[in-house]
Amino acid sequence: MVPPVPPVEPPPSRWVFPNSVEAVAAAAGDGEVIGAGADLEPGTILAAYRHGLFPMPVRRGVTAWWSPEQRGLLPLDGLKVSRSLRKSCTRYQIRVDTALDEVIDACADRQRPGAWISKEIKRAYLRLHHLGWVHSVEAWSPDGRLAGGLYGVAVGGLFAGESMFHRQPDASKVALVALVDRLRDGGASLLDVQWVTPHLASLGAVAIPRAEYHQRLAKALELPRPSAWDA
Name the amino acid, one letter, at 193.
V
Domains of the chain: 72-229 (3.40.630.70)
pLDDT of residue 67: 97
The pTM of the whole model exceeds 0.85 = yes
pLDDT at residue 1, rounded to an integer: 44
Which ranges in 7-132 belong to alpha helices (H)?
A: 21-28, 42-50, 83-88, 100-107, 119-130
pLDDT at 58: 83
Do residues 75 and 207 make contact, with C-beta atoms less than 8 angstroms apart? no
pLDDT recorded at residue 114: 66
Residue 229 DSSP one-character state: G
Residue numbers in the chain where pLDDT is lower than 70: 1-5, 114, 231
pLDDT of 230 reads 72
State in Å, rounded, how far the first CA of the chain is from the last one.
Answer: 8
Give the burial string for 16-39 (b: 16+ CB within 10 Å, else e): ebbeebeebbebbeeebbbbeebe
